[in-house]
Structures are given as structure tokens and as C-alpha cells.
Amino acid sequence: MTIKEYEQIPIPVVEIFQSISGEGISAGNIVSFVRIAGCNLRCAWCDTKYSFNESGEGVQMMLPADIRKTLSGIGSNEIICTGGEPLEEGKSKRFLPVYLANFFKVRVETSGGSILYSEKELLNFGILRDQISYCMDIKCPGSKMDHKNLYNNIFELKKNDELKFVVINTEDLLFSLEIIEKYKSSLSGSGIALNFSPVFGSVDPDVIVDFLKENTKYFMDNSLWARLSLQLHKIVWPPDMRGV
């Protein structure tokens, strides 16, 4: 498929807006968001349930070229493609991030339940691996979706990518540490950020801070970049406000 051909395929979009990046290593930066509709997971604590379905109320079908024009009109060069789930296989929306990477700096927020791009998929859109970055979840037990994790995705992550653990209790923290230990040969010294994010309103951030302090030696000894990641947009604005 050529870029020109892809530009004619409608994509289900929930919203496009400019705001601060609320979490991860880009937190605080002014970015533009494209929230793509449809998700193949149903996390217990999901805060974007309005993006679950690919059609219906609140979903607009937009051509990729029109999405690009809208983003260009907003003005920021840094784009976060989120959802929903942007990378669902077998769907045209999967290729919106790589299409946009021809024009913007693109970070993809993905649940980790879909396969990351292959080299062939990237090259088909004229994109090299270092032109796109990932913030990928590893679902913890508290999400009720940990059985959906595609752990082989971890081997595809590189410097400037992020691995995110959304935690709601101590069990989730211990689970995250087990996963890190299992894959530390790939994570050690990689420059991949390990983000620990509390479910807003369900666990106090200081619980994660204590966890990070208790495991500082482990992270240092294994050259791992572990950090607290808060949802800044829920601190700046009401937690349920959309488009921010």
C-alpha cells in the first residue's frame, strides 16, 4: 500500500487536541493527541472507556490526510497516537502512526496486547525504527488483562521507548518487578524508561515512591531506568475532563 492509497482510507477517531503530555518521559511537553477509536482490551480501571468502540456516538471517520491537516493546523510537531488501541492488527487504523511519522515526531501509546510494527511495515511507509517511539503497557493483575500481554514485544523496544506499569496495589508492584527481572537482559542499559503509574484515586503515589526507594539498589545494579509517572492532566484539570 502506498502513502497516497492509505490517505483515502477512513480511520475512526475519537478526538484530536493539543495539551500537555500528561505522563511518561514527555510529561509536561506541549503535544498534539490523536485518540483512535476501538480497543481489544477491557482494563478494570480504564479511564477512556468512551474510546472502546470503533463506531457510534463520538466517533468520527476521518481520512489520514485530513487528520494530518488538522494536526498541522494545531501547530505542535510532537504527536501522541493513543486510544483505544492504535496498533490492533488487521485494521487500517494500525498504520496511522507510521503514516503520520512521515510528517511529525510520533509516539505510540499501546496496551501491549498488539504486536509492535515489523521492519517491513515501517519500510512500507518509508519509516525507519528510530522515527517512531513507543510507550507500551505491561498489564498488571489489577487490570484483569494481564493474560493479554505479548511479552515478546519487550524485545522490540529501544532507547527512548517506555514500558509502563499501571499499578493499583502491592500485588501489581511485585508483579512488575518479576517481569523486569525476567526481561532485565533486554532492559538493562537500554535507555528504556520503566514507568510506574498509580491508578488515579485508587493508590497514593507515595506507595510507588517507597517501592522505588526500596528497590533503588536493584535498579542501579542492573542499569535500569525506573521512575514514577503521574497523570499530570488529572492534576491540572478535573480528572474526568476530556480533550486536555
pLDDT (tens digit, 9 = 90+) per residue, 95-142?
Answer: 999 999 999 999 999 999 999 999 999 999 999 999 999 999 999 999
| Order of strands across the sheet that contains 132-137 | 60-62, 11-20, 30-36, 78-82, 105-110, 132-137, 162-167, 193-198, 225-228
pTM for this prediction = 0.96
pLDDT at 244: 84
pLDDT at 76: 85
**Interval 145-197: pLDDT, tens:** 999 999 999 999 999 999 999 999 999 999 999 999 999 999 999 999 999 99
pLDDT computed for residue 93 by the predictor: 98
The CATH homologous superfamily to which domain 3-236 belongs is Aldolase class I (3.20.20.70)
Q: What is the pLDDT of residues 43-58, one digit of tens each?
A: 999 999 999 999 999 9
Q: How confident is the model at residue 2 (pLDDT cuts 50, 70, 90)?
A: confident
Averaged pLDDT score across all residues of the chain: 96
Q: Give CA–CA dist 3/98, Å, rounded.
A: 10
Query: In the predicted model, what is the mean pLDDT of residues 14-37?
Result: 96
Residues 111 and 127: their CA atoms lie apart, in Å, by 22
